[in-house]
Amino acid sequence: MKKSKKKQASNKAFMEYVAKHNCCLMSHSSDIVSSSCGGGVQAHHLLKPWDGFRGMGMRASDNNCVPLCYKHHALLHDKYGNEDKFWTLFNLPENYGRGVSQMLWHNFNYGEPDGDC
């Protein structure tokens, strides 16, 4: 018997909503990594989602996204790789990305005003 797979959420409108925000690291300083942003903002799919799952070779559902500028997005994927440790380089908690994503998803769905990342 074939095991059914949970379908991941796909939401283009939310992805566009996330990309319209400033980089979520814009106002956070780091002694290790330059906090100045560079390039346009992209919706980064969390490596460790707050909702659902992420299997090998798969990205998280669209509701698990945070706004990152091109520079920080590239640093995360190309240099650091470990998302939880990446946030700590900016003096943020390991679960920072999950909290930002969850807040944006809530505000998007309930029409509440956006807070700063």
Per the domain annotation, does 117 fall within a domain?
Answer: no
Residues contacting 36, CB < 8 A, separation 6+: 71
The pLDDT score that the predictor gives to residue 9 is: 55
Per the domain annotation, does 2 fall within a domain?
Answer: no
Query: Which residue in this structure is represented by tokens 């299997």?
Result: 55
Question: Nearest-CA neighbor of 65 among 56, 57, 76?
Answer: 76
How much is the pTM?
0.76
Range of the domain at 73: 12-110
Please answer whether residues 68 and 41 qualify as being in contact, where contact means their C-beta atoms are separated by less than 8 angstroms: yes
- Per the structure, the count of domains in the chain is 1
Per the domain annotation, does 6 fall within a domain?
Answer: no
The pLDDT score that the predictor gives to residue 3 is: 45
pLDDT tens series, the chain, 117 aa: 444 444 445 678 888 999 999 999 987 766 666 668 888 999 998 876 655 555 555 566 778 889 999 999 999 989 888 888 999 989 999 999 999 999 998 899 887 666 656
Per the domain annotation, does 116 fall within a domain?
Answer: no
The pLDDT score that the predictor gives to residue 4 is: 42
